[in-house]
Structure 1
Amino acid sequence: MEPGRCCLPKMLPCRFWTAISKALFAEFLATGLYVFFGVGSALRWPSALPSVLQVAITINMATAMAVQVTWKVSGAHVNPAVTLAFLVGSQISLPRAVAYVAAQLAGATVGAALLYGVTPWDIRETLGVNMVRDSISTGQAVAVEVVLTLQMVLCVFASTDSRQASGSPATVIAASMAVGHLIGIYFTGCSMNPARSFGPAVIVGKFTVHWIFWVGPLTGAVLASLIYNFILFPDTKTLAQRLAILKGTAEVEKVAGVEPQKRESESNSRDTEMESVGQMA
């Protein structure tokens, strides 16, 4: 038996955990930076109150930064809604999705805590916690978050799908976030990202109508995933393949960089070589 073939089963888990550790740190870091800059742009300084355009531009650039830095490491989710959309579309395993969301929420909380620590006490107020406008009902607020997140997740899929696009998706995703904020700020302060709403809410302890900023974005993400992956650009995955991805068995192969077909062909070629040597002997 060849040494390389013996070591392969041991190498796969090691390479997988190395890759997932980097991905989790990337999600943690990117979400923290996104919350720090995004929420920071909405703080109300008396000398220069932020305009909607200013907040949208800052969100645009913060999103582009987060995506550009992490998309080759973790896929640049930086948002539990995006992670759920990829899970529904059979593009990520359930264990990895849960780990991603935990990293995103932790990063958002740390980013909000850092912003709170460096901001003067008279400027902090509610630290940019998402709130619904008085004249807007909870149903309307949820509907707005659904639509805003739906268009953003559709852009995420379109810009990261190797069948449709190539290169960094940072520009497209950042633009979709800016478009959402130009409208959504007037209704709900614009979340589109449960982690963005969660971080500041934890730091200031304000969870009034917080459920809206989970139900709306997550619903919009699921709808966008169904529309893109099953109607606009359906793939050919079988039920068995989807279950393998959900459980994570297919993902280990992908992360480790070893394709089953390639490994089988290499094994066959080695066996052929051994047979040839035996015949020559």
Structure 2
Amino acid sequence: MSANLRAPASRALLPLYGAELLGTALLVFGGVSWVTLMFAPHSPLPALLPDAGLRRALTGALFGLTGTAVTLSPLGRLSGAHLNPAVTFAFWLERQIGAGNAVLYVAAQLLGGVLGAAALLVWGSWGRAVAFGVTRPAPGVGAALACALEAAITFTLVTVIFVLVAHERTRAWTPWSVPPLFALLVWLEAPLTGTSANPARSLGPALVTGTWQDAWVYAAGPLVGAGVATSLIALEVWGTRRIREARLAHFQTPVGRDEQD
């Protein structure tokens, strides 16, 4: 299916919005399920892997691998697998997606995040033990610092994605960059903010559990980080690049290729 995301939003693009919604739901459910398995007290994994740092790194890698699987699935091939309002915001700043389509993509992602988090209720007491994946600043970490940290990790995520997507030789590796990147980021930063970098991922558990402590951090931080990343990329700080389309997965015959020039 070919789709120009810079064109006005239309009914013809409804399948893309639906794919983005379902893909984000799968990301949140699958990713936070790994958090539950790794950290719920009744899970066997904490006993098998007593080192919390190792479990954080594995959780980040598996969360990222969930996103990779969605990206490479038919859902990702259809929508481009942004799966994150901050990523869509960055593509909009790069003028690779029109404002109307960006708004609908973000709406689909937020709804998908809520649906994915609602499905997490199936974990019952295991899920409650990890607050169903709620992200909030750790004690002693102020909201301003937490916002800066979320901006920093989102800056890193968007920069890596955009630098890889911009070059033909590395474009196909973009989805595979996320698991090792998140292994590192979660290992480093999860004890401080939970390592969200995705407003949809944080909104779902917050809404399902009614936990709104410093919730603005997980919207403002990623958007600021994405904005700074695209600004530096536009200034060619990392070298000359050209992003051709608003998608993370690329194949020999790309789906949804935009007209150029």
Same-fold call, TM cutoff 0.5 = yes
CA positional deviation for 1:177:
2.6
Which residue number corresponds to residue 144 of structure 2? 139
Q: How does 1:102-141 map to 2 (within 5 A)?
A: 102-116=107-121, 118-121=122-125, 123-125=127-129, 126-141=131-146
State whether structure 2 residue 156 is matched by structure 1 residue 151: yes
Match for residue 57 of structure 1 among 57, 61, 72: 61
Q: Alpha carbons of 1:257 and 1:204: their partners in 2 closer, same or farther (altered >3 Å)?
A: closer
Contact 1:81 1:217 in 2 (8 A): yes
C-alpha displacement at 1:236, in angstroms? 8.6
TM-score by length of 2: 0.78
The residue type paired with residue 95 of structure 1 is G
Deviation track 1:188-232 (CA, whole Å, cap 9, x = no partner) reads 011100000000111111111000011111100011111112323
Whether the 8 Å CA contact 1:68–1:168 is kept in 2: the answer is no
Q: Give yes or no for the alignment of 1:41 onto 2:46.
A: no
1:77 aligns to what SS in structure 2? coil
| Cα distance per residue 1:137-190 (max 9 Å; x no partner) | 222111111110001001111222255633252101333233221212011011
Count matched residues: 230
The structure carrying a bigger helix percent of its residues is 1
SS of residue paired to 1:120? helix
Q: TM-score, normalised by structure 1?
A: 0.73
**Larger RCO (CA within 8 A; separation ≥ 6):** 2
Instruction: Please name the residue that 2:49 is paired with.
Output: none
Sort the Cα spacing of 1:231 and 1:258 in 2 relative to 1 into closer, same or farther, 3 A: closer
8 Å contact from structure 2 (residues 42, 126) kept in 1: no
Q: Which residue identity does 2:156 align to in structure 1?
A: Q
| 3-state SS of paired residue (1:119) | helix
Unmatched runs of 5 consecutive residues or more in structure 2 = 1-6, 47-51, 246-254
After superposition, the CA RMSD in angstroms is 2.8
Q: Which has the larger radius of gyration?
A: 1
CA contact (8 A) 1:63 1:177 kept: no
Aligned ranges 1:260-275 → 2 under 5 Å: none
Alignment of 1:23-38 (within 5 A): 23-38=16-31
Give the conservation status (yes or no) of the 8 Å contact 2:166–2:242: no
Work out the CA distance in 1 between the residues paired with 2:93 and 2:212: 28
